[in-house]
């Protein structure tokens, strides 16, 4: 059952060298408050499993990442993630690059305790060359078809962000897309969930099919209003702030100023500083 906890407790329970899954997709409903806390932490040598967005970028910028496992890293409305690009181009991170569907099959396999799942996606592409450990599997039936055996993407810890959660650790999403957050929860040894609003059990409301994450898969839950900022969570993406992030990330001096202003304090300080920035009409 999910215990109500704090950002600091969650990040304090993580260790360097861990494999950490991050829910959401691109620049959409990312658990950014938890990512920002890892950014400020002393953790290093992490393997990040993610449909990558600014979560991957920020952690690369902070030198926290040894390996990225992802089918892409993008800010959606801005195609390329500047910090991830820079890290790759200077050889600072290893990259396990999968097709989007392969990646989902890896999550599905891990979520269901299977060693692999077969798919066509990847065949004939350089995904097989870039991941020489990938193997194929032959159908035992008459067709004899050869398919990619996507290995389970098992994680030590997963981090997801929901619109609403209850104090037991049940999570609900309000937007049009659940992304893969339930699979991340099931594919990890421990899952921590942040949420915009924490309610009492029984008060989650809404249609039952939006109750995506079950407390049986959640170790800890924390209320982080605006915790998905600046990714698309609830009220849409903060495009202006994302542009500020991307422009700053492209230049070392501008990035130092950005990091100094927004990323040195705790989450409350971040939210307050973003509010001030907004009032400056930037």
Partner 1 sequence: MSATRAEICVVACAEAWRGDGEILAAAMGTCSILGARLARLTFEPGLLTTDGGALLTAEAVPFGAPAGAVEGWLPFREHLWLVQNGRRHVMMGASQIDRRGNTNISAIGDWARPKSQLLGVRGAPGNTICNPTSYWIPKQSTRVFVPEVDVVSGVGHDRAAGLGPRAARFHDLRRVVTDLAVFDFGTPDGSMRLVSVHPGVEVEQVRAATGFDLTIDGDVPETRQPTGEELRVIREVLDPKGLRYREVKA
Q: Does 71 bind partner 1 (CB under 8 A)?
A: yes
Q: Is 140 in the site for partner 1 (CB under 8 A)?
A: no
Q: What is the spatial distance between Cα 251 and Cα 280, in angstroms, rounded to a whole number?
A: 22
Where is 163: in which H helix or E strand?
strand 155-166
Residues in the chain: 282
Range in contact with partner 1 (rule: CB under 8 A) among 36-44, 109-117, 120-128, 241-249: 120-128
Question: On the CB side of 161, how many CA atoms lie within 13 Å of its CA?
Answer: 28
> Can you tell me which of 2, 21, 23, 52 binds partner 1, judged by CB under 8 A?
52
Q: What's the closest the beta carbon of residue 201 comes to partner 1, in angstroms?
A: 27
The yes or no reply on residue 243 touching partner 1 (CB under 8 A) is: no
When asked if residue 47 is in the footprint of partner 1 (CB under 8 A), the reply is: no
By DSSP bridging, strand 146-151 and strand 135-138 are: antiparallel
CB 20 within 8 A of CB 47: yes
Does residue 98 bind partner 1 (CB under 8 A)?
Answer: yes
Least separation, in Å, of the C-beta of 88 and partner 1? Answer: 4
Q: With binding defined as CB under 8 A, does residue 191 bind partner 1?
A: no
Rule CB under 8 A: say whether 77 interacts with partner 1.
no
- Contact (Cβ atoms closer than 8 angstroms) between residue 150 and residue 109: yes
- As to burial, measured by CB atoms within 10 angstroms (0-12 exposed, 13-18 middle, 19+ buried), residue 144 is exposed
Give the binding site for partner 1 (CB under 8 A): 25, 51-52, 70-74, 79-80, 84-85, 88-89, 91, 97-102, 104, 119-127, 129-130, 143-147, 176-180
């Amino acid at each position: 059952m999910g215990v109500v906890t704090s950002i600091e407790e969650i990040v304090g329970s993580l260790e360097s060298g861990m494999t950490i899954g991050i829910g959401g997709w691109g620049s959409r409903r990312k658990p950014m408050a938890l990512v920002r806390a890892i950014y400020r932490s002393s953790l290093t040598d992490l393997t990040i499993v993610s449909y990558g967005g600014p979560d991957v970028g920020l952690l690369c910028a902070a030198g926290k990442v040894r390996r990225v496992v992802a089918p892409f890293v993008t800010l959606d409305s801005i195609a390329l993630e500047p910090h991830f690009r820079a890290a790759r181009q200077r050889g600072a991170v290893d990259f396990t690059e999968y097709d989007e569907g392969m990646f989902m099959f890896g999550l599905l396999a891990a979520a269901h305790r299977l060693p692999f799942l077969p798919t066509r996606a990847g065949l004939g592409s350089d995904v097989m060359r870039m991941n020489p450990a990938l193997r194929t599997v032959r159908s035992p039936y008459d067709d004899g078809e050869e398919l990619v055996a996507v290995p389970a993407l098992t994680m030590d810890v997963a981090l997801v962000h929901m619109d609403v959660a209850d104090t037991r650790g049940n999570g609900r999403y309000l937007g049009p897309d659940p992304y893969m957050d339930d699979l991340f929860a099931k594919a990890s040894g421990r899952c921590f969930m942040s949420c915009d609003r924490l309610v009492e059990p029984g008060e989650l409301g809404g249609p039952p099919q939006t109750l995506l994450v079950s407390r049986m898969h959640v170790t800890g839950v924390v209320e982080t209003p605006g915790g998905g900022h600046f990714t698309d969570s609830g009220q849409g993406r903060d495009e202006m702030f994302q542009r500020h992030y991307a422009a700053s990330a492209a230049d070392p001096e501008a990035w130092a100023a950005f990091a100094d202003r927004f990323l040195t304090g705790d989450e409350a300080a971040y939210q307050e500083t973003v509010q001030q920035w907004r009032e400056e009409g930037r």
